[in-house]
Amino acid sequence: MLHVVTGAAGFIGSRLIAALNHAGITEILAVDDLQDGAKVKNLAVADIADYLDRREFLSQLETGRLDGGIEAILHQGACSDTMENDGRYVMETNYAYSKALFDWCQDEEVPLIYASSAAVYGTGKEFGETRENEEPLNVYAYSKYLFDQYVRKRSQEGGSQAAAQVAGLRYFNVYGPNEAHKGRMASVAFHAFNQFRAEGRVKLFVGSDGYEDGGQQRDFVHVDDVVSVNLWLLEHREVSGIFNAGTGRAQTFNDVAAAVVNTIEGFDLSIEELIEKNFIEYIPFPPQLVGKYQSYTQADLSRLREAGYEGSFRSVEEGVAGYVRELMKMKS
């Protein structure tokens, strides 16, 4: 029986396959779109049973060729560019494709664990997984929001529970290994590392929405911590629902920059000292992001904890420092 991972060559998908391999699982069907061939190196060290293009995978599901052969689907594949303006492409990739997987999984009673996003909360300040907190600001966020609504509706049709486990994870700001191919959509930590290595300083936005320079706060979560939530759900198939996947702590962009610089240089300087030494520079806030920017996010983990998940999540100081050390080894 195959464990299917979509978005397998991508950031979270490739780390998920690595974790499955570590757990002794190698009967894995890797599904992705390798039009961007740069992603393939994320799969080069993976132990998998087979690879299928995302379109061919859907075709094989629809023709019944994979009936009875799939243990679970871990659906990480998506267009994750929050600045993508081609709404038709985003909706086909993120919404229509996900609906097809959900319908097949319910028909075949196969667990589906899928990637949602904290982008569905927009500029709100409440992050519980309820409809009143959801206000997507771009087509990417809308595609994730709409699929969550589809799952909610279909899972409760006729007053009955879903035929098989279906669990969505609203990822907050994920960072860590295997994200280099994401370009502008890579994490703040990744960009800060490269900026400091190239220019000797980290560039952050000036203050916005009432926050001081670099003081905007996000819930920054290490990729391996969200992978751990995926694996826990895979082991607890009685758990269904939509859950936040973050640390439950909001930390500033300044905190991320400080962790990057201090780790590279072996310092233990405060943010104020780093600013004074010009290791952190503030740049104008992009006009195109005004009114469309999440200046504050913090995962409410109540529902995940109530479901039974007891795992811990790394702080920026711990997680970013460890990530930077890995990047330094790769660059040396």
List Cα–Cα distances, 275 to 52, 203, 271, 284, in angstroms.
49, 11, 6, 16
Residues with active-site annotation: 140, 182
Which residues does 243 contact at the CB level (< 8 Å), separation at least 6?
129, 167, 168, 169, 170, 229, 303, 304, 307, 309
Low-confidence residues of the chain, pLDDT below 50? 158-159
CA dihedral 313, 318, 323, 328 (to 10 degrees): -170
Q: Which pLDDT belongs to residue 36?
A: 77
Q: Which pLDDT belongs to residue 82?
A: 81
Exposure string for 60-75, b = 16+ CB within 10 A, e = fewer: bbeeeebeeebebbbb
315 within 8 A of 322, measured Cβ to Cβ: no
Question: Could you tell me the domains of the chain?
Answer: 2-174+221-247+299-313 (3.40.50.720), 176-217+251-296+319-326 (3.90.25.10)
Q: Which pLDDT belongs to residue 332?
A: 67
Could you tell me the pTM of the whole model?
0.96
Q: Which pLDDT belongs to residue 160?
A: 53
205 within 8 A of 285, measured Cβ to Cβ: yes
Tokens of 309: 């998940």
What single-letter amino acid sits at 206?
A: V
Q: Which pLDDT belongs to residue 289?
A: 85
